[in-house]
């Protein structure tokens, strides 16, 4: 048994309607076990019976007793229907690019099973149960990431899932790449012989793009918190004005995400003596007869601090509707055609089209790229001696001018260069994918969603944002050490203490790539937010 499955995981009873994003992410990352609900099984069997009846009556049914796409006008006999499905899985084996990660593959298999559990696809109960059995044993097809236009679903990527059931592809099992047929034999399973519609039902859906989407949504939620945490700590390191986050300001412009970000930043600032409210900064307002005076601290911080809730709040509000769209998508019948036992008919449509996932991911990309830019600008304020309110240049340790080490160290200069490059890449990737429709498949798929490319881009920007946030967090902790971390808020001190278990104070130039990787892991597993909230 794999190391993943040796750990307790989520237990899911799939019915096609109630799978949550958090459940999907938990299973994708920590394993678990899935079964079909009895009600789903009844629906599946009723729909399959209708399919069999329609086939026996020799009614032409798209992709069942006709060819696919531009071959939809070519009807075949019922005797050829099964071979048509096998051939479909074979000719779609044309993916390229890197292999999808195990967590993406688990999520893909889970959502393909859940969409089929909706009970409108006309497949056998055995097909879905076999898919779940392989998922429960962590038998993962090697799915190339490239090859889907996201219109007739994720045809090319999902064909690798289908061929796992038939034993005609390679899989990852117990840490080794093996032939699916060999793994099936080791589990005492026979390769599945597909029947009419089943190859199409396995491939004609949005499960691959949705797998990237659920993971991106979960990680973006955490990044919203980490961004607000960074802002609260940067405000302290820069001796900022915490009055910028007072409730009055945000109640006057009540975007819910913006209100939440400001509330969180205020709570994370509680107890600090570094950042002060306006009334604390300027206790005396009398010029004492003078016509001018130079204030020791500005009445307003730079936009990247003062307007941070407006940026991160926009991400939070984007997530609110993106999560709703993705939740609907993963609990839908997303293939074609669909069978309606109540009406006794089969109906063709376009539920495989990935428009909502694509638009949602394109929008999430822009919000996340803006977050990267925000944190990159905050980092500039912290490392630049022109703006960091008395901290050292590039956050080098305090070194006397007559010290032999004076002039030799450049501290966080390399870290800022890396952060700037990461941010530029995030901004480049946020170009919307969904506007780049391509007419393909003999002009049958003449308008396509490109949802899978959008979702993969969102994944990439999430990973970039995690690294930008990690670099920023390490810099803030260095700045608080230089400023006097004992003056920081309890939340900031807790986060600083956690980071210091992985990353030591930078007392002289050293490589810091391993430090970044260590803090990225703290972000990914939610450790930073738990520390900030006292969890």
Taking a C-beta distance cutoff of 8 angstroms, is the pair 218, 234 a contact? no
Q: What is the DSSP string of 158-223?
A: HHHHHHHHHT-SEEEETTEEEEHHHHHHHTT-PPP---TTHHHHHHSSSHHHHHHHHHHHHHHHHH
Under CATH, what is the fold of the domain 10-205? Fumarase C; Chain B, domain 1 (1.10.275)
pLDDT of residue 6: 40
Q: How far apart are CA 27 and CA 10, in angstroms?
A: 6
pLDDT of residue 442: 59
CA dihedral for 462, 464, 469, 470, sign (positive or negative): positive
Count of all residues that appear for the chain in the document: 535
Q: Which of 62, 160, 173, 353 is catalytic?
A: 62
Do domains 10-205 and 215-280+297-333+348-532 share one topology? The answer is no
CA-CA-CA-CA dihedral for 450, 454, 457, 461, to nearest 10: 170
CB within 8 A of 534, min separation 6: which ones?
A: 491, 494
Taking a C-beta distance cutoff of 8 angstroms, is the pair 124, 116 a contact? no
Each of the 535 residues of the chain gets a pLDDT tens digit; together they read 344 444 468 899 999 999 999 999 999 999 999 999 999 999 999 999 999 888 888 878 777 777 666 666 677 677 777 788 888 899 999 999 999 999 999 999 999 999 999 999 999 999 999 999 999 999 999 999 998 888 888 999 999 999 999 999 999 999 999 999 999 999 999 999 999 889 999 999 999 999 999 999 999 999 999 999 999 999 999 999 999 999 999 999 999 999 999 999 999 999 999 999 987 776 666 667 777 767 777 778 899 999 999 999 999 999 999 999 999 999 999 998 999 999 999 998 888 888 999 999 999 999 999 999 999 999 999 999 999 999 999 999 888 777 887 778 888 999 999 999 999 999 999 999 888 877 676 566 666 778 999 999 999 999 999 999 999 999 999 999 999 999 999 999 999 999 999 999 999 999 999 999 999 999 999 999 999 999 6
pLDDT of residue 285: 63
Taking a C-beta distance cutoff of 8 angstroms, is the pair 41, 124 a contact? no
pLDDT of residue 513: 96
CB within 8 A of 375, min separation 6: which ones?
A: 227, 230, 419, 423, 465, 468, 469, 472
Tell which CATH architecture fits domain 215-280+297-333+348-532. Up-down Bundle (1.20)
Q: State if pTM tops 0.95.
A: no
pLDDT of residue 284: 61
Taking a C-beta distance cutoff of 8 angstroms, is the pair 116, 128 a contact? yes
Strand 338-340 relative to strand 345-347, pairing? antiparallel
Q: How far apart are CA 327 and CA 147, in angstroms?
A: 24
- Ranges of each domain in the chain: 10-205, 215-280+297-333+348-532
Instruction: Reply yes or no on whether 62 is catalytic.
Output: yes
């Amino acid at each position: 048994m794999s190391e993943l499955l040796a750990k307790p995981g989520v237990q899911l009873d799939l019915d096609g309607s109630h799978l949550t994003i958090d459940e999907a992410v938990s299973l994708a990352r920590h394993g678990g076990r899935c079964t079909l609900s009895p009600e789903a099984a009844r629906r599946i069997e009723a729909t399959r019976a209708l399919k069999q009846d329609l086939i026996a009556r020799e009614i032409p049914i798209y992709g069942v007793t006709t060819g696919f796409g531009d071959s939809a006008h070519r009807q075949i006999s019922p005797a050829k229907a099964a071979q048509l499905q096998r051939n479909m899985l074979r000719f779609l084996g044309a993916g390229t690019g890197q292999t999808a990660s195990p967590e993406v593959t688990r999520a893909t298999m889970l959502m393909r099973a859940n969409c089929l559990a909706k009970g409108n696809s006309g497949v056998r109960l055995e097909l879905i149960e076999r898919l779940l059995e392989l998922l429960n044993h962590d038998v993962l097809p090697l799915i190339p990431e490239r090859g889907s236009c996201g219109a007739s679903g994720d045809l090319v990527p999902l064909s690798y899932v289908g061929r796992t059931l038939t034993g005609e592809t390679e899989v990852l099992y117990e840490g080794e790449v093996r032939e699916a047929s060999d793994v099936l034999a080791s589990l005492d399973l026979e390769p599945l012989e597909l029947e009419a519609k089943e190859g199409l039902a396995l491939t004609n859906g949005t499960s691959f793009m949705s797998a990237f989407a659920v993971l991106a949504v979960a990680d973006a939620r955490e990044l919203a918190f980490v961004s607000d945490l960074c802002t609260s700590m940067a405000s302290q390191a820069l001796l900022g004005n915490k009055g910028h986050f007072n409730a009055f300001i945000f109640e006057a412009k009540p975007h819910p995400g913006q209100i939440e970000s400001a509330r969180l930043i205020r709570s994370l600032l509680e107890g600090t003596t570094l950042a002060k409210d306006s009334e604390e900064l300027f206790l005396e307002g009398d010029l004492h007869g003078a016509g001018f005076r130079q204030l020791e601290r500005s009445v307003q911080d730079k936009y990247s601090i003062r307007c941070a809730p407006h940026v991160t709040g926009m991400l939070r509000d984007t997530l609110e509707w993106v999560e709703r769209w993705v939740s609907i998508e993963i609990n839908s019948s997303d293939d074609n055609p669909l069978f309606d036992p109540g009406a006794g008919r089969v109906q063709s449509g376009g539920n495989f089209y990935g428009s909502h996932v694509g638009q949602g991911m394109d929008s999430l990309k822009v919000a996340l790229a803006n977050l990267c830019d925000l944190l990159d600008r905050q980092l500039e304020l912290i490392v630049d001696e022109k703006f960091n309110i008395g901290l050292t240049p590039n956050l080098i340790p305090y070194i006397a001018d007559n010290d032999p080490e004076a002039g030799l160290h450049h501290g966080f200069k390399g870290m800022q260069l890396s952060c700037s490059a990461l941010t530029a890449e995030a901004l480049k990737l946020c170009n919307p994918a969904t506007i780049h429709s391509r007419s393909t498949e003999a002009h049958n798929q003449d308008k396509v969603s490109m949802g899978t490319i959008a979702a993969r881009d969102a994944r990439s920007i999430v990973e970039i944002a995690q690294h930008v946030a990690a670099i920023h967090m390490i810099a803030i902790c260095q700045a608080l050490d230089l400023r006097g971390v004992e003056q920081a808020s309890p939340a900031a001190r807790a986060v600083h203490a956690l980071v210091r278990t992985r990353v030591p104070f930078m007392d002289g130039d050293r490589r810091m790539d391993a430090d970044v990787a260590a803090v990225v892991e703290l972000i990914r597993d939610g450790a930073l937010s738990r520390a900030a909230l006292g969890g």
